[in-house]
């Protein structure tokens, strides 16, 4: 859950700040919306957080 929350926070900051240029790049794509970017970011961060948690728990057991 924490990874998904961080991913949504990243997507919010990346799409709202004009310094990154994410929003104009996404708007130039024909079928890709800001929602898709937020969903992809949240999913990616959640998967990486889950894998990191698994790796750390396995390392503690050894």
Predicted confidence at residue 48, as pLDDT, reads: 95
Nearest to 32 by CA among 48, 11, 47: 11
| pLDDT tens figures, 3-27 | 999 999 999 999 999 898 888 888 8
Query: Rounded to two decimals, what is the model's pTM?
Result: 0.78
Radius of gyration in angstroms for the set of CA atoms belonging to the chain, rounded to a whole number: 15
Q: What backbone torsions phi and psi does residue 13 show, to the nearest 5 degrees?
A: -65, -40
Angle made by CA atoms 15, 20, 26, in degrees to the nearest 5: 50
| pLDDT tens figures, 28-50 | 988 888 889 999 999 999 999 99
Packing angle, helices 34-61 and 2-16, rounded to 10: 140
* Rounded-to-integer distance, Cα 24 and Cα 15, Å: 9
């Amino acid at each position: 859950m924490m990874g998904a929350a961080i991913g949504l926070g990243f997507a919010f900051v990346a799409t709202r700040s004009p310094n990154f240029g994410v929003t104009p790049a996404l708007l130039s794509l024909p079928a890709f919306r800001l929602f898709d970017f937020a969903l992809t970011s949240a999913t990616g961060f959640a998967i990486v957080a889950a894998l990191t948690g698994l790796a750390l728990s396995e390392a503690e057991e050894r």
